[in-house]
Chains A and B, each alone.
Chain A
């Protein structure tokens, strides 16, 4: 079949890209884990050493504990928001969905700074509590702080995927259940939630892996006894030749791939596709007055909680001096002036890099999702695992790998090595954000019924035409979600870019904030730049929501009131 060979070509091309941009650079770094540091001979002794060390065992359990609890807390934040906004007629659903997405776009270290100011040991909340009630709460002490910051930062992964899934649930399923007498919690537990499972699992797996691998947040909160910080600290302090950092990297990769595999096992053998796509999601219903009050209370409480970092950042950006006080001493616009003078270039670079990276993520994302779910090409799951494994590669390791691999690779017409050309930052961002786009594409495609494609093909459409006219349009919501997720998180990526920025003229926004935040007088200006990032991506998110809603309205037969 000629079409099939076309798919083969695409698969081979993507595989080559992934091998060249992910496997080879990472292998260059990770091979060290299996080498005797003295002789260079192959050995497994480094792993034995790892598990003999009490510190590393403790780090491992801490990482695991923090990841699991973060998933639970993130679910507790995301589930009510997703359910209330998709299930009921609720004013401002689109706004809530957009606001709920905003935490993801704040660089974790900026979020941690703002959270310390609000929830820290001597932050606003604790200073007020102590003054008026005589006690304080250890929100940010040790692992608590990591869990809080991570849950607030990453819950949008669950929210966005779960909302997309809930919207795609076929109304007829729900109606069938209601006809058979199911309602209330039972309906939710037995019908709605299981049907939304692909989105939820996709989101929860992402949260788990991100938290497990995340470096910036624990480091900024000065929590060292977790795996990713240990890897980073070993590499950065003891030296590039120390094998233990690489051993931890290998363990991070293996563990992440394992947890993804478990989530695949969990999903296997279940068919989540819904035949009818015209229904526009679940039937929405009106809330009773009491229910309305409750729903608003829940939503407002959650939004207040998740927007705390932004409130803190805003106060910081407008404040003069903020030291051991519930609020800044005074307010000024000076920070924005200082920011604007020195950072336009960062903003432009960010738009450019993240835009290219997100576009370059969605296209292979769709291709891989289609290859995995719709073809029988040999090694298709390998492709998926490979792309997803990028999640498990600490940014610093990828950065070092790129420096090593591409240093001697001169780019024609540019006249310098790829490693110091700005495109290398885009490549790193693309690879690091590909898994996000891929998960979103997979979830979107999983919900497109095969029957629709078969119908198209039996009517004589070629495969390419089927993809073009049937599959991709039906996936549009998921694709946009994937694009925005990739774009927004790429815009605030720091760990890989910090290794790869070859000149401050090529630096993206997050690097600019990092630079500002390294000086006492630059905190306000850094916060102002952070606000610019928040506003930029917020605008992008609102537009996306608008597009999704309009798209839905044109396709849907309208709400049944």
Chain B
């Protein structure tokens, strides 16, 4: 579903992503951990086709992103750190617009059903987005993924800034999508949430994927220890 083959990106002499190899299958949720500047967002930008790789390839459902980014975007949904929608439109209207321009035409009841499935309260369906909290906007983002019937989900630090309840709700939604067979790549700093919802966890540093774990094989404290060690925070890791 999500594959990278020696994916590399550099700006001049600065290497920001170094030969990244990932293979995320249907129903898997891969959490990429790493400090700022580790290359997590660059990976997502490359998978979205926002930037072109210096070498290597990124594939979505077996289709090369650099060859036809428009085609690969049909199969994926993306939720950035701070999902912004059109403030003068309601949740239903935003969902209708973003799914519609991508070619998915839905009825009003279908749109409402997706928002409901994403956990948005019914009272908010027809309220303008300008009144929404970040957590509510993220739910609209999940509804968009559901509406698009995307089998690939790319998330760039989606839980940062969410309160614990909203973050927990968001985690449950991701698990729901995972159970539906969606392949998810999530860049995050949140070790706790990663351990809780991921199937696979990778730790990046300086554009390189330094360590990979199966989430079931590692405890939260071991994950924290491994993370700090990778980041060279040895005194904290002891």
Instruction: Specify whether A and B are partners.
Output: no
Which residues in B have some Cβ–Cβ distance to A below 8 Å?
none
Which residues in A have some Cβ–Cβ distance to B below 8 Å?
none
